Structure 1
């Protein structure tokens, strides 16, 4: 998987968003920061806890100029049914993309071919449509959206401050590093 630093490949898909069906493509990722959150399937166990946690961070992400897209290989119709029947998913106000053709999951190299579902994976995409971070976990391990917020803040800082990098556990307002010969062997 060598997707870091690459542009998102073309796709078109149907999605469920705030009570409506909409069309989404890679062009929607341009001009703003985006999070694409893949998960295995609707009507499952870990997935609704993750999507609800992501919704709990959605206002913070929006303040950072980030749009969120969840993706599974279910259809947009299944997303609507899940939204209508699950207390946790009923809270979701970000875009839920259906990928029954597996095009998007293949484009992001997260499709488990034998099962026809996506890995549990999160991508942060910059305003140029370029992938900046990738996180993939085993199916039984849920993600923490508060960690995602910190990663986005670091990615935005690095983009806005060429020549600086964010060290481990960096938090907004903390010191950064300026890589140089003077730092070699001193950290």
Structure 2
């Protein structure tokens, strides 16, 4: 069953953020756009490339009112240790959520049970706490922060312009569509 347009399920977790441990829950996501970016594990290979890519685009996400949350089944202590030892992870300004119980990872359907690790899952959540985008990758396939940014911009546009939709490869400023009987068979 798809999670699209469902509410984020209740959770409590601790994140490492800006040199501190902070408590988060589903209510932490309300009132702003959020991206939950699940990855398998700290101290690995593809994961730091993705998290570094997000760090490089973080200011752009923030300018759009979007908070990024990196999530793995590691602990918040492990996130701190990784931050302290990796130049790539040191540049991260967004929270890294520890999910050692797997509650959050299971809530989003990305737990690999036999490994206790998360799949590469990306979820865009609107300010009301509804999931508007989900994408899940095999763990060998890295994601692209710029493409995620485009999808967030499309989700925000659709939310702010009822009756309009964004076609393939839409970017801000490009033409949108207004679905109607007149468009059937003409695209």
Normalising to structure 2: TM-score of the pair?
A: 0.99
Structure 2: gaps (5+ residues): none
- Residues 1-187 of structure 1: matches in 2 within 5 Å? 1-187=1-187
Could you list the runs of 4 or more consecutive aligned residues of structure 1 that deviate by over 2 angstroms after TM superposition?
none
Quote the offset at 1:135 in angstroms.
1.1
Per-residue CA deviation, residues 1-32 of structure 1 (Å, 9 max, x unaligned), is 41000000000001100000010101011000
Per-residue CA deviation, residues 65-105 of structure 1 (Å, 9 max, x unaligned), is 00010000000000000000011001111000000000000
Per-residue CA deviation, residues 25-47 of structure 1 (Å, 9 max, x unaligned), is 01011000000000000000000
- How far apart, CA to CA, are the structure 2 residues paired with 1:161 and 1:91? 35
Question: SS at the partner of 1:121?
Answer: strand
- How far apart, CA to CA, are the structure 2 residues paired with 1:66 and 1:104? 19
RMSD: 0.5
- How far apart, CA to CA, are the structure 1 residues paired with 2:138 and 2:111? 13
- How far apart, CA to CA, are the structure 2 residues paired with 1:121 and 1:26? 17
Question: SS at the partner of 1:57?
Answer: helix
- How far apart, CA to CA, are the structure 1 residues paired with 2:12 and 2:173? 38
Per-residue CA deviation, residues 149-187 of structure 1 (Å, 9 max, x unaligned), is 100110000000000000000000000000000000000
Question: SS at the partner of 1:88?
Answer: helix
- How far apart, CA to CA, are the structure 2 residues paired with 1:126 and 1:134? 12
Question: SS at the partner of 2:155?
Answer: helix
Structure 1: gaps (5+ residues): none
